[in-house]
Structure 1
């Protein structure tokens, strides 16, 4: 079985060795698990805690960019140009309404991924691109694409920590195993210090036996911790992107918003 034992941190909020920020990759190659919602909501929650936060949209679908009120079609510079070495990260970063900075994405990133596959140092390009701005932030959170290609490998190479959002359903078991195989390769070849924080249950209903059983099976099979609290199922998460804001702004008192605040506090204490 793949070794997925989390690696301990010497101090709280330990920075990535090559930056001044703690870099968190949020990844799961299965789509529709609340990955983008988690990135946007944690970013807003950490900003509310007084942290300087940069979110990186590494998904060609640009869902995070759209969710934070930025029209991808109106962007002249995005993460695509940064990864290809045509622009600096500082040239592409925009400020959102919730005091969170964003390195946005566009659909052109899909074509760039194919180009990157033939480039030297492709897994290191995001890490290198973020180094000049990392000192400006306490946290950098990367929204990975729902795949295990070059972009996800680059995100895991740049990251100090990995969080796996997970809907507790049958197919989740297979997806986690595939992701951990990729983590094993990244640790072996490009980022030996990558730490797995654990799985974050999303759209979770603890009243159902199936959800509890899947979560227990995954944690016992792979030795992964469960990041708490679980994120409840609610339509408020689907509504928030229409306003270009996170649930922490559109439904600040909702239990889903509070759950992400609590997860942010958990991360700050880890």
Structure 2
């Protein structure tokens, strides 16, 4: 954890470093492993007339959608999450949705910004990964330099208004002893998904092939390893596809908002 990742020739040691690199166009890569110690967040941006329903949706589904920040309508700032933060420009890649269909991926959503948009920032498992690595537990997607694999499941969310759909999970393979330790460690981080929601037998939660993730990139699961699944903040994207709001913006999976909050503040105990 002492080695600060360098991408595009720049140091990316803090949240503001990553945000400024994304804003200037220097960073167009996924953010896993960047800015060690700083909280990363998933993003969902919706019109204000849907904001209260989506807020209730997050409250009813805290494992998949643990809220860490909500903006005022039309305001691109979230000062509680970072100084000089502009939600329109500070992620490496966004997705734009219309009527539940993905219509664009772009590094800047300023041109489609509206005065009625409310931003929701949702805790990300990248935050608890730091604690796992500090305990000596290797994470294969980070070792490989790839995005974590994520899968649609048959686990339903608790609906709110128009919002409903399946839970998305992220998967990390571990040997049994490391899996037990990972459960213990991540249980201390409820605001970034907490403990796993499923272990082993992916078919039991509707995953047919671990080598074909719905988001991210596959990782090898060895014969002596167990796949461990955490609720994932990409869940709002499956919900947006199901609810079909007229307009929405999300992060592209793996391309997170990196905040000025410290991961250590999220741990219980």
TM-score, normalization by structure 1: 0.24
Instruction: Name the structure where strand makes up a greater proportion of residues.
Output: 2
TM-score, normalization by structure 2: 0.24
